[in-house]
Amino acid sequence: MTEPEPPPTEGFRMSKSRSALELGVMVGIVATLLGFSVWIVRHAVDLTIGQVPVAVDRTLGEQVSKALGATATQCTNPAALDYVQKVAAPLLASLEDKRFSFQFVVSASEDVNAFALPGGYVTVNYGLLKAAESGDEVAAVLAHELQHVLQRHGTRRILRDMGSSVLLSALFGGTDFLVPASVAQNLTNSAYDRDQERESDARGLELMTRAGIDPRGMSRFFERLAKTSPSLPTLLSTHPDPGDRAAKAAAAAGAHPGTRALPSPKGVPCK
């Protein structure tokens, strides 16, 4: 009796289904490793940020400011910058952390926004001054932005984006690195995470009360923008509401009512 012939084999060649399966497994492994490396860098930054010299913050902020061309759109009338500096003065005088020297710029942009870069570079758009109804509201935004600098949120974000090699250099005081334009844009175009926004809100309210400024200016400004703006202002998209901003501002005001009168932004010229 003749035995049946064995089915033909493909030698070392893989079938299409097996090839696709193994490729999928490898892609999954690579994605997992990449995600794990991002997690490691993120937590390494948070654990070691206290050891990074503040000179690194200043270098990062200066580079990002140049990359964004922050000085190209400044208000030409010095009254705008003078106003922002007057509102910021009591906040700066009330700071307990004196490591940073803050520099302010008033951009001619009509967009309702403000942002702070590492090292103390703070930009306020003229559109924000036009949208605010009181000095307390402008001070609330400034207090929030100052806290992003003091808590080094921007520095943490850039170091995370640029990876472990730059973090190691920064830990030893190295400042000979270049911030890519994409990282600079990402810093101002995207929101900080919820915990960082909540921290800047809470510490900003504390700073306002120490300076004798009505802390309710924070909730009033954000709530009015949300109700009256036909489209979502940049300030709201990059400063998401932690959920109980108004309640916390009211509680802070009840314990420490504001007594300092700040000048109104109404009529402050840009040109």
pLDDT of residue 27: 44
Confidence check: pLDDT of 38 > 60 = no
Q: How confident is the model at residue 224 (pLDDT cuts 50, 70, 90)?
A: confident
Tell me which range, 44-53, 145-154, 211-220, 247-256, is most confidently predicted by mean pLDDT: 145-154
Range with the lowest mean pLDDT among 12-26, 30-44, 162-176?
Answer: 30-44
Distance CA 230, CA 176 (A): 45
pLDDT of residue 39: 45
Q: Are the beta carbons of 146 and 95 closer than 8 angstroms?
A: yes
Q: Coil, strand, or helix at residue 74?
A: strand
Q: Which of 85, 84, 160, 146 has the alpha carbon at shortest distance from 118? A: 146
Percentage of the chain modeled with pLDDT above 70: 75
Angle at alpha carbon of residue 153, lines to 51 and 174, rounded to 5°: 40
Q: Are the beta carbons of 138 and 265 closer than 8 angstroms?
A: yes
Range 221-233 average pLDDT: 80
Could you tell me the CA-to-CA distances from 149 to 99, 101, 229 in Å, in that order?
10, 10, 28
pLDDT of residue 215: 87
pLDDT of residue 30: 39
Range 177-203 average pLDDT: 81
H or E segment to which residue 186 belongs? helix 181-189
Could you tell me the CA-to-CA distances from 128 to 36, 67, 136 in Å, in that order?
40, 22, 13
Backbone φ, ψ for residue 194 (5° rounding): -60, -40
Higher-pLDDT residue of 182, 199: 199
Distance CA 167, CA 161 (A): 10
Strand ranges inside 46-153, DSSP E: 103-107, 114-117, 121-125
Strands 121-125 and 114-117: antiparallel
Confidence check: pLDDT of 227 > 90 = no
pLDDT of residue 15: 58
Q: Residue 51's CB: how many other CB atoms inside 10 A?
A: 10
Q: Which of 64, 51, 54 has the alpha carbon at shortest distance from 158? A: 64
Contacts of 257 (CB under 8 A, 6+ apart): 214
Confidence check: pLDDT of 212 > 90 = yes
Q: How confident is the model at residue 37 (pLDDT cuts 50, 70, 90)?
A: very low
pLDDT in tens, 97-144: 999 999 999 999 999 999 999 999 999 999 999 999 999 999 999 999
Confidence check: pLDDT of 233 > 80 = yes
Mean pLDDT, all residues of the chain:
80
